[in-house]
A and B are shown apart, each in its own frame.
Chain A
């Protein structure tokens, strides 16, 4: 075996070991302390394991989205947060993201980001003061987002579509909290 190839092999093995060590280091906190961010299989599991009583899920969502959510991530430490992603039935791309975060915390950017907000208006969502934003996401796709406060959480619903369906989804969440 040539010296160069051997060096490359040694480098590859050591870097693989480094990656494995990083994975291990990433896993340890979940063993040390409950409530760290991790994936869950269902909303019921989130409620049961994290003892979060209010997980806001929509009672209505357009038929083009697949149920259950393609991904549910939740944490209670350092603050409570639940993020749900929904894909369209015909794609694996996240098209609807619902997040709830214990106030006053805010979630950093998620997959659906309004790169340009064309319109931002106050909207009365079943008596709640909500902020409705309409604009475009990456690749100039029309996106909309609505956010409001509910039971100590900041709830945000972002969707890759016009706001009509978004408002219906949001209204279904306020009508029946806990579902």
Chain B
């Protein structure tokens, strides 16, 4: 197929523009986060949603507002006409657009093999988890740690496993799972911090933002910027649950110590223990555990529990900037 024909078709324009719109959105959002020195993970996560959501709808939205936006005369006035680059022929033969679409194809392969395949694999493997679990005995360190936590508590189960394993499942019957190896490795304070973090995930699952974001991200399977941004959103989710845990326990050191145990006991090939959790959200949480533990430890050491305002005016200014600039990127 002639790539020039595809580039001028609506699917072609959607692919190209959604990629560049997300790239520009990511630059604007990062600029806003730095300019206003926004550190709170809840606020940062909200800003990062712009990068996932806006490029998904921007092209059809702009076309609806101005159908002539895809025409040559609009492209002349555009801030960036991407086709000018994509139409360049390398060595006078191969259009740059071919390399661009190969790049998107590579991003799609990364999405399939790094995100979808592990999720499907873990979904099948997770069926064994329920059979091996036991409840902690009264008076055990786990029960003592749980009793010291405020608020509603989920079911807690011990898995017979020497590895350090910790995860939660959400849904109608939320539960926290710990391996026997983890229970032996942690003090009561550390167990309390670890379970508080998982309770944070369970509480936040009542507003299943991550699942919605993941579904949006699936629709942008071809977009490497969306892939990177989704991972950053997941990382912010971990930071949010760290903050929940610190708020519940008042002890950021204990949680940092738990993370250090995870971080330093793993081998290089598999730096974070991975076990299987049923349910999409559980798998997303599990996926998120593999990410950037070290930065979380540093963040906990720097006392993260500082409250920020909602930054609504900055959010809407950033959103308006993204929408305005991207309108002129065709």
Please give the residue numbers on chain A whose beta carbons come within 8 Å of chain B beta carbons, in ascending order.
Answer: 7-8, 10-11, 14-15, 18-19, 22-23, 25-26, 28-30, 32-33, 36-39, 71, 73, 75, 77-79, 81, 83, 85, 94, 99, 104-111, 113
Stretch in B81-89, B158-166, B249-257, B272-280 with 4+ CB within 8 Å of A = B81-89
Rounded to whole Å, the gap between the CB of A143 and the closest CB of chain B is 13
Assuming A15-B28, A29-B85, is B95 touching A78 (CB within 8 A)?
yes
In the complex, the answer to whether A73 meets B88 with C-beta atoms within 8 Å is no
Assuming A32-B88, A38-B76, is B35 touching A10 (CB within 8 A)?
yes
The interface residues of chain B, by DSSP majority, are classed as: helix
Contact with A along B1-12 (1 / 0, CB 8 A): 001110110000
Q: Which of A14, A26, A106 contacts B84 (CB 8 A)?
A: A26
**Which residues, 59 to 112 on B, are CB-close (under 8 Å) to A?**
67-68, 70-73, 75-76, 78-81, 83-85, 87-89, 95
B34 — which chain A residues lie within 8 A by C-beta? 10, 14
Q: Which of A23, A26, A83 contacts B72 (CB 8 A)?
A: A83
In the complex, the answer to whether A78 meets B4 with C-beta atoms within 8 Å is yes
Rounded to whole Å, the gap between the CB of B311 and the closest CB of chain A is 10
Q: Which of B36, B71, B88 contacts A111 (CB 8 A)?
A: B71
Cα–Cα, bound, A46→B36 (Å): 49
B301 — which chain A residues lie within 8 A by C-beta? none
Please give the residue numbers on chain B whose beta carbons come within 8 Å of chain A beta carbons, in ascending order.
Answer: 3-5, 7-8, 13, 24, 27-28, 31-32, 34-37, 67-68, 70-73, 75-76, 78-81, 83-85, 87-89, 95, 314, 317, 321, 325, 329
A8 — which chain B residues lie within 8 A by C-beta? 35
A18 — which chain B residues lie within 8 A by C-beta? 24, 27-28, 31, 325
17 CB contacts below 8 A, A to B, read A7-B37, A11-B31, A14-B31, A15-B28, A22-B79, A22-B80, A23-B80, A26-B79, A37-B83, A38-B76, A78-B4, A81-B72, A105-B5, A106-B8, A110-B72, A110-B73, A111-B73
Assuming A29-B84, A78-B95, A81-B72, is B36 touching A11 (CB within 8 A)?
yes
Q: Report the nearest A residue to B97, measured CB to CB.
A: A78
In the complex, the answer to whether B329 meets A22 with C-beta atoms within 8 Å is yes
In the complex, the answer to whether B70 meets A109 with C-beta atoms within 8 Å is yes
Rounded to whole Å, the gap between the CB of A30 and the closest CB of chain B is 7
Cα–Cα, bound, A33→B85 (Å): 10
Cα–Cα, bound, A22→B24 (Å): 10
Cα–Cα, bound, A87→B215 (Å): 47
The interface residues of chain A, by DSSP majority, are classed as: mixed
A38 — which chain B residues lie within 8 A by C-beta? 76
A73 — which chain B residues lie within 8 A by C-beta? 72-73, 76
A111 — which chain B residues lie within 8 A by C-beta? 68, 71, 73
Rounded to whole Å, the gap between the CB of B322 and the closest CB of chain A is 10
- Given A73-B72, A107-B8, 12 additional A-B pairs, CB 8 A: A8-B35, A10-B34, A11-B32, A11-B36, A26-B81, A37-B81, A77-B87, A78-B7, A105-B8, A108-B71, A109-B68, A111-B73
In the complex, the answer to whether B72 meets A11 with C-beta atoms within 8 Å is no
Rounded to whole Å, the gap between the CB of A77 and the closest CB of chain B is 6
In the complex, the answer to whether B31 meets A85 with C-beta atoms within 8 Å is no
Cα–Cα, bound, A23→B325 (Å): 11
B28 — which chain A residues lie within 8 A by C-beta? 15, 18
Rounded to whole Å, the gap between the CB of B22 and the closest CB of chain A is 14
B87 — which chain A residues lie within 8 A by C-beta? 29, 36, 77-78
In the complex, the answer to whether B68 meets A110 with C-beta atoms within 8 Å is yes
Q: Report the nearest B residue to A104, measured CB to CB.
A: B5
**Which 6 A/B pairs are nearest by Cβ-Cβ distance?**
A78-B4, A108-B70, A11-B35, A29-B84, A110-B71, A10-B35
